[in-house]
Amino acid sequence: MASEPFDKRSGWIWYDGAFVPWQDAQVHVLTHGLHYGSCVFEGERAYGGEIFKLDEHTARLKHSAELLDFEIPYGTDEINAACRELLVRQKLNDAYLRPVAWRGSDMMGVSAQHNQIHLAIAAWEWPSYFDPAQRLKGIRIGMAKYRRPDPMTAPSTSKAAGLYMICTISKHAAEREGFADALMLDWRGRVAECTGANVFFAKDGVIHTPDADAFLNGITRQTVIALAKRRGIEVVERAIMPEELPSFDECFITGTAAEVTPVAEIAGQHFQPGPVTKTLLEDYMSEVQPKKAEAA
């Protein structure tokens, strides 16, 4: 299944209010979202048949669309219900979900104020984002050539498809050099994030993570910060410069796809997955599991 092209798979995709056969869920080649990047999306995980923090993901999807100057024509409850029903139709318990919204093909040009807004949701099995054996030892990360843009030049708090163009370029370059991912700086030269995950460091039992002022403040990032504070672990959100990396003992990244993944190296700087990383990895995996209702 992992090697099967996504357009050749079977099952169902929720598309503009109806469930359609997987291979029939298509768009026209002159779709505005393809040519001009007017597209937003979410990445969600289901564990044991329940989608983790679905409300937060749907709210972010709608907010991302607003930042790109369009409104998704479906309410939160309808989107949530479609996600849950899709899991049932796909017969999935542990899965990845991809809601995606875009401007259609009614008008072609930079201005497309009257284009229909489409929404589709797909779900499939997607295990660990990184090789499981490598993940436990800690992944190796390189340094990206491109930087996260100044928020005055792009809507950096949206999960917009166009913002991931430099992420794909950076991840490909890193993989060609034998790394699993790449660390990106922001336009000021500060540590920002990886190509699809937020980054955390630890030293002397204290967690340090970049201020989320130039990149997406991930839902997993927020969850892990809350879990750390629940443990009484101090979390410092601040500007981190790349020359500080040798001062840290531990490093890990977070994201819906990456979950909590230890890092063993960033461009020659080595880290040892330690107690802070291991504790939060375990706490996060416990947190995402469906909670049984307490007895009355």
> Tokens 């939160």 appear where?
76
The SS3 of residue 8 is helix
Token pair recorded at residue 137? 């030892």
d(CA 275, CA 279): 6
The backbone torsions φ and ψ at residue 72, rounded to the nearest 5 degrees and listed phi first, read: -75, 125
Q: Is 203 a catalytic residue?
A: no
Nearest to 84 by CA among 53, 50, 59: 50
Name the E strands within 4-163. Answer: 12-15, 18-21, 39-41, 44-47, 50-51, 95-103, 117-124, 139-143
Single out the catalytic residue among 53, 62, 159, 171: 159
Helix, strand, coil percent values for the chain (each to nearest 5): 30, 30, 40
- Characterize the bridge pairing of strands 206-210 and 235-238: parallel
To 10 degrees, the CA torsion angle through 23, 28, 33, 39? -30
Name the residues annotated as catalytic.
159
